[in-house]
Structure 1
Amino acid sequence: MHHPFPGLRTGEVAERAGVNIQTLRYYERRGLLAEPLRTPGGHRLYPPDTVTLLTAIKAAQRLGFTLDEVADLLSAGRRRTQAGLHARATDKLAEIDRRIADLTTVRDTLARVVAARCDSLTDCTCPDCPLPPL
């Protein structure tokens, strides 16, 4: 479909980027996407690079970045500051490693609780209960 104005309509952007329309509008409200131009009929028209930007946002989320962190990364990229992806990915990796260590501790404790057949948080009767006393 050809438009008299350059750009992609909301549905086209959403489909090409693999997101739903609500996600697109949410990102717009959060300031991750610039407010698009409007046709005389009121339809949103996004620049073609919006699809690339959305793909980058989704990639950053898959790397564990929150939307606030993604917004900060995008802003740093626009300002060409040095605190870019590499530094932030290094910090995120350390954060993920800490979370994995915490989850491993929780998992090990849960495995001991299951193996011991613990039956109560407050009055467990299993021998050598792994739960700390209250």
Structure 2
Amino acid sequence: MLSEVSRSRKITIIGGSIPERSGDKLYNSCCVFGTDGKLLAKHRKIHLFDIDIPGKMTFKESRTLTAGERPTIVDTEVGRIGIGICYDIRFQELAAIYAARGILLYVYYKYLTFISSLYAWHLLSQLCNVHPEDLPFLPSPFLLNFWRPPS
């Protein structure tokens, strides 16, 4: 579907984050389609989120997902884009790699589930910038009508 829309509208689409099965492995992936509808790149989330707070919460993406192995850089008609998913943003090494390779725009997808995440996401958007002129784009379905930057 995204391929067809990108081709018919002649736009580049960065498709968000979806589960992708490859053989016996499952990845959290983001596909990028070019203006001709062809797949330009696929980012597989590199940093899986595992947390264990004894007696309170355990969540381990690594029980289900396989980590991606490399940064994803996409050359588009408007410039170079670096892709990340959710927890990837917490690792400035990824942003540094992108900056060294001349990225125009950083795109990190995350699904925000509660208001405290908004404040963390705002702070992380600033931290992912290696240079002051770097442009982060942080889409999230939760942010549709709720985003108010912290004052």
TM over 0.5: no
Rg larger in structure: 1
Q: Where on the TM-score scale, by shorter chain, does this alignment land: which range? A: under 0.3
When the two structures are superposed, what TM-score results if normalisation uses the length of structure 1? 0.26
Structure with the higher strand share, 1 or 2: 2
When the two structures are superposed, what TM-score results if normalisation uses the length of structure 2? 0.24
